[in-house]
Amino acid sequence: MKRLSDAEEMVMSVIWNNDELMSLEEIRKKSYEKYGKDWKPQTVSTFLARLREKGFVSFEKKGRYCFYTPIVCRQEYEQYIFSQHAFQREYDIAENIIRIRDEAKKTSIDEVIVLKHLKALEIHYGITLDDIQKTAVVEAILNNIVVITGSPGTGKTIDTRFINECYKSLFPKNGRIFLAPTGRAARKITEATGEEAYTVHSYLHIYDEDPMPEDKIEISDSLVLIDESSMIDVNVAHALFDAIGNGCTVVIVGDIDQLPSVGPGAVLRDIIESDVIPVIRLQKIYRQDEDAEICINAKKIKEGNTDIREGKDFHFIECSRMEDIKNAMAVQYVKDVDKYGLGNVFCLCPYIEHVAGVNDMNKCLQDLINPLKENEKHVLAGSLDFRIGDIVMHQKRNTELASNGDLGVITDIIWDDEEYAIIVSMNGRELSYDKDNIQYLTLAYAMSIHKSQGSEAKAVVACYSSYHVGMIYMNIPYVAVSRGKKNVSIFGEKATLKEAIINGCGARRITLLGYELAFLGGKFVAA
């Protein structure tokens, strides 16, 4: 079996998603609808010829036309891609983490010195850290590598700011590098520290799901702080830890109860469970009033407590029919937008397709919030209709334009004969999307719960019902609830929510990183 190119994967995805034999023209049409790819028939024919040569499809001739069907199933291909690289990369990650941990620390700075600087910072900012928060800062400064974990609102952001300030004072000649898996998460670090933060992909120059930087970045004598680390998969972690060289202090920040990375592995979980590096667990909630229902319910969901409390900032609206859920979510979304502003409200859905899924809600909310006006410029790309003023998301790939999950607003659409350019304001830049890269752009009035990780909104509108078979696990609603700062409204069936809380986190991913870390870190000896 051979790895497919991006275009070949798109064609195979179209074929995999169809239950019947497909003609070339049908494949061409579905490629346009799904990915916005307006390929010529000869181009699609070339892709299909390559797929036949690689043993992925067969064809049956009926009259003048050929009809194609898959030979290799999607699961088999994805398993192949994972197995080819993941286990070796997990071993490489483990080796690098232990190398970083065991490097001799060339400094005379001790706990007393760190606490002295910490006290001065508390006075300066008018903030008093609790004992666990202080421990987190001290351990981060004195060790080569640590993990700081905790639920939203437990002070991870404050600790990030204090770690940065302490390190800057104690090691003024060293660098400080702040990284996150998404642009939104990187901006949160910048807001907390005043320092420029980067996505891991942009800093390391990796723009693919299987990252292999052409020009390896080497980091030395620096603080390296990685936020929202639960979202980092094996491939990204492999490139990151390989880049970290001598004299570095590595701080890994994240919430182990968030959803695992979309890509392979369970990097944060495995590092914590290996018990080979210090782990500081933040517990007390500071984000809001401890009596706020959002915080209380997020904590209850995490702990497996089904006694969900409603109040001024948390609402559960019982609905059973998906059409009713869709309509109720739309009404609440408009209300929240009126109160908090467009861009400050998340509509979160467990599924992409079907009624009240991401695609369905995006169409519905777009027509409510930004209806198409007569003679207004717009672009039809597959099933999407892009309009000026739309909230959009960069998706699928980390490119030089943006990172997967970055949000922006369409500010202009330029037409020149049959060619177009969609101008998007994203991350403080004006980006242009045309026929060659339109597949990376989608509407973002609604998004998947996975895509919401690493970011927050003033209000969250979400759904959760018995229709979401296969997603009835604790961490799905936990992520949805913990994204909201001012108001959370969930539509669905409370019985399903309780079932999810009782079920816990669902199936555990099969990984070896934890075992490899434990072995290399001296926690056990192989027989």
Q: Is residue 510 part of a domain?
A: no
Indicate whether 121 and 228 sit together in one domain: yes
Q: Is residue 455 part of a domain?
A: yes
Torsion of CA 186, 188, 191, 192, to 10 degrees: -110
Domain at 11, CATH number = 1.10.10.10
Angle between helix axes 74-102 and 267-274 (nearest 10 degrees) is 40
pLDDT of residue 507: 60
Q: Is residue 526 part of a domain?
A: no
Indicate whether 85 and 19 sit together in one domain: no
- Residue 299: closest CA among 315, 281, 310, 284: 284
> Which segments within 137-181 are labelled E, that is strand?
145-150, 175-180
Indicate whether 86 and 152 sit together in one domain: yes
Indicate whether 251 and 130 sit together in one domain: yes
Residue partners of 119: CB distance under 8 A and separation at least 6: none
**Does an H or E element contain 116, and which?**
helix 111-125
Alpha-carbon distances, residue 226 vs 164, 184, 231, 253, 279 (angstroms): 12, 13, 11, 6, 14
Indicate whether 230 and 298 sit together in one domain: no
| Residue where a domain terminates, one of 45, 72, 99 | 72
Q: Is residue 121 part of a domain?
A: yes
Contact (CB, 8 A) for 414 and 423: yes
Indicate whether 17 and 107 sit together in one domain: no
Q: Tell me the pLDDT of the chain (527 aa) as tens digits.
A: 677 888 898 899 899 888 678 999 999 998 888 788 889 999 999 999 999 988 899 888 888 888 998 888 876 776 666 666 677 889 999 999 999 999 998 788 999 999 999 999 999 999 999 999 999 999 999 999 999 998 877 889 899 999 999 999 999 999 999 999 888 888 889 988 999 999 898 899 886 544 555 567 899 999 999 999 998 989 899 999 999 999 999 999 999 888 777 777 889 999 999 999 999 999 887 755 545 788 888 888 888 899 998 888 999 999 989 999 999 999 999 999 999 999 899 999 988 888 999 999 999 999 999 999 988 999 999 889 999 999 999 987 777 778 778 899 999 999 998 899 999 998 888 999 999 889 999 999 999 988 888 788 999 999 988 877 666 778 888 989 989 989 999 999 999 889 888 887 766 666 789 989 999 998 765 44
Indicate whether 249 and 299 sit together in one domain: no
pLDDT of residue 470: 64
pLDDT of residue 406: 86
Number of domains in the chain: 3
Residue partners of 53: CB distance under 8 A and separation at least 6: none
Residue type, 62: K
Between CA 508 and CA 295, with CA 501 as vertex, the angle to 5 degrees is 110
Q: Is residue 515 part of a domain?
A: no
Sign (positive/negative) of CA torsion 451, 225, 195, 155? Answer: positive
User: Which pTM was predicted?
Assistant: 0.76
Residue partners of 93: CB distance under 8 A and separation at least 6: 234, 237, 238, 241, 267, 513, 516
Q: Is residue 514 part of a domain?
A: no
| Residue where a domain terminates, one of 21, 55, 72 | 72
What is the domain range of residue 326?
A: 293-503
Indicate whether 152 and 261 sit together in one domain: yes
Indicate whether 13 and 85 sit together in one domain: no
Indicate whether 271 and 135 sit together in one domain: yes
- Residue 188: closest CA among 151, 168, 158: 158
Q: Is residue 522 part of a domain?
A: no
Indicate whether 227 and 297 sit together in one domain: no
How far is 241 from 271, CA to CA, in rounded Å? 13
How far is 519 from 525, CA to CA, in rounded Å? 6
Question: What values do phi and psi take at 130, rounded to 5?
Answer: -80, 175
Alpha-carbon distances, residue 73 vs 1, 9, 10, 78 (angstroms): 12, 12, 14, 9
Contact (CB, 8 A) for 253 and 119: no
Q: Is residue 305 part of a domain?
A: yes
Indicate whether 312 and 233 sit together in one domain: no
Contact (CB, 8 A) for 433 and 384: no
| Residue where a domain terminates, one of 287, 320, 343 | 287
Sort strands 457-464 and 345-349 into parallel, antiparallel or unpaired.
parallel
How far is 388 from 370, CA to CA, in rounded Å? 8
pLDDT of residue 50: 92
Domain at 90, CATH number = 3.40.50.300
pLDDT of residue 132: 95
pLDDT of residue 527: 45
